[in-house]
Amino acid sequence: MLQRSVLHCRPNLTLLSTHLTTSRSHLRCLSSSSSPPPPPSSTVSVVPPPQTLNAPTPKSFSTPLEAALHKQIQTLGPLPLPTYTSLCMTHPTFGYYTTSNPLASDLNKGDFVTSPGLSQAFGETLAAWACYNLKEFRYVEYGPGDGTLCSDFLRTMSQLNRRPSECYLIDESPILIREQHRTLGVTLDSYIHSKDDIPTQSIVVQTGLAKDGRTRVTWLKDLPPVNVKVPELIVCHEFLDALPAHVFQFKGGRWRERMVDINWEGEEEVKVEVNSQAYTGVKKQDLTEISKSSNLRLVLSQTPTPALKTLLKTDGKGISKLVPGKENEVIEIQPEALSLIQEFSTRISVNRGLALLIDYVGKGDTTRAFSDHEQVEVLERPGECDITVSCDYDQYEKEVEGKGAVCWRRGQGEFLVECGMGNRVQSLIESDDTTVEEANKIYAGFEKIVEDMKTFEVMVIGGESNIQGVKRGTPIGFK
């Protein structure tokens, strides 16, 4: 049972007790104890000819999206992983986020749980940090999930007698957007479906007042037009990891791209023209699929793909001057994430705001899938499992350079403790309204977030003077 006294002083992370029952980490993140799937031991590289080989007649498709993908690959050839991942995540009819609410506030429900669901003190601490660092701001959040973080932000701001000048949420999932309405208590008063209906570049989907009756929350498809007079706080919590990554592997002295292919049967060696790309097969006995399900498999491209040529700048032989490559080295690149970082940096240099990114970080072979709090194969039940990648903050940092902004990084646990999360947790635990059971839960959430989620890092992007302020930290009094 939790001893309330544990948090009576400013929490010392090394003192966090281990006597709480720490359930196995079912977090969507992989904590240091769980590692990404091991790199494939050998290569595969057949991209078969739809015109000469017969796809096996699948006994059954695991999901409707798998059937659709199977058909698409038969017609167009293998798909780069980002195309597969995007379809799995946000396909309008069969996508993971578009058809389900995977978030849970409890480790026994949903597919994963995130920090806002583990502790209200997480969002409260971030809100206090933001209010300290920006005098006024509009709140812009990407991928707000069930809306808990935004709700905790708005509540805390109101307790500090503050309110964002505007509040914009950007999400692809109609189901989660409905959850966000519910969590924020928004009564919608307007739906605008067409770009022509409004004089801005962004498409407003919905708008309405939050339960405080004063904060207007607007759902957009893209960032709102820049307002040079009002700084903005852009929040991405466990959002960038959901954006697809190209996966490149150095094999046989050259760079190749991982593609999603049909689990073909038939001839031993094949050559095929797909979208003007020539792919040559290898002998069947040499094949070891990187990964496969009954109907799909991951293979390596035989010739440089457009992504290899543009992102790694490979020549016709798959050699890159940018990244020389070592046998079996794997590099993941998220073009959408990188372009968002560029956009955030440019906007912030104009409106004097901050971008607050929090995610799990990593490099190499990190693409993985989750279902029901367990790691599963990336090809398993397309559209029903979460596919995610560790964010490469070093790559992100390079995108900030030269855009009039700088960035600052910190481990999540240190950052939150320095911002006073321990003090907030302590006061929640000591509140007369808190039962012992609730106190245990509050403490366990805190411990999980600051102690266990070691791969999580905070990245703040801002103008030079704002970042100097961020580096100085939050005064104790404010905590």
Interacting residues with ligand SAM (CB under 6 A): 89-90, 97, 103, 114, 116, 143-145, 149, 170-173, 176, 237-239, 242
- The single residue listed with the structure tokens 């906007």 is 347
Q: What are the two backbone dihedrals, phi and then psi, of residue 391, each rounded to the nearest 5 degrees?
A: -80, 135
| Cα radius of gyration (the chain) | 24
Residue 134 to residue 351: CA distance in whole angstroms: 11
| Number of residues that make up the chain | 479
User: In whole angstroms, how close is the CB of 179 to ligand SAM at the nearest point?
Assistant: 9
User: In whole angstroms, how close is the CB of 228 to ligand SAM at the nearest point?
Assistant: 25
Residue 105 to residue 32: CA distance in whole angstroms: 22
Amino acid at 108: N
Nearer to ligand SAM, 115 or 207 (CB): 115
User: In whole angstroms, how close is the CB of 149 to ligand SAM at the nearest point?
Assistant: 6
> H/E element holding 437?
helix 436-447
Tell me how far CA of residue 454 lies from CA of 65, 162, 240, 273, 421, in angstroms: 34, 32, 18, 45, 16
Nearer to ligand SAM, 303 or 388 (CB): 388
User: In whole angstroms, how close is the CB of 237 to ligand SAM at the nearest point?
Assistant: 4
Nearer to ligand SAM, 173 or 474 (CB): 173
Nearer to ligand SAM, 114 or 207 (CB): 114
Nearer to ligand SAM, 107 or 282 (CB): 107
Angle, vertex CA 351, rays to CA 346 and CA 352, nearest 5: 95
Residue 182 to residue 211: CA distance in whole angstroms: 10
User: In whole angstroms, how close is the CB of 223 to ligand SAM at the nearest point?
Assistant: 11
Nearer to ligand SAM, 178 or 271 (CB): 178
User: In whole angstroms, how close is the CB of 102 to ligand SAM at the nearest point?
Assistant: 7
Nearer to ligand SAM, 170 or 338 (CB): 170
DSSP structure string for 191-255? E--SGGGSSSSS-EEEEEE-TTSS-EEEEESSPPPP-TTS-EEEEEES-GGGS--EEEEEETTEE
User: In whole angstroms, how close is the CB of 90 to ligand SAM at the nearest point?
Assistant: 5
Residue 182 to residue 250: CA distance in whole angstroms: 47
